[in-house]
Amino acid sequence: MTHYCAVGNQPRLKLDRTHSRADHLIFVFDGGTNLDPKKDVHIHGLAITFHDKDHVTGAWEAYEGGKSKGGHELNMTRQ
């Protein structure tokens, strides 16, 4: 997948088939456009968890200077 970021870069993430399950998908950094992963801020990973048919969480991990800068979690509920 490609994350089209508001900061102007496009990190690519690929599914980690070894560590993913049907209800928990893990995506890992796989390069990108318009960024230097050793220094620039960018999305470096994503975990999507399907809790049940109405609840999904997306946990994004950001990197800066080649290290984790923390993340953002989005909890989504079907309306």
Please spell the DSSP secondary structure of 8-68, one letter per residue.
S-EEEEEE-TTT-BTTEEEEEEEEEES--TTTS-EEEEEEEEEEETTEEEEEEEEEETTEE
Quote the pLDDT of residue 47.
98
Quote the pLDDT of residue 77.
98
User: What number of other Cβ atoms are within 10 A of residue 53's Cβ?
Assistant: 7
> Where along the chain do its domains lie?
10-60+67-77
Look up the pTM and report it: 0.91
Average pLDDT, integer, range 10-19: 98
Name the nearest CA neighbour of 33 among 71, 5, 60.
Answer: 5
Name the nearest CA neighbour of 64 among 46, 34, 40, 45.
Answer: 40
pLDDT digits 0-9 by tens, 20-77: 999 999 999 999 999 999 999 999 999 999 999 999 999 999 999 999 999 999 999 9
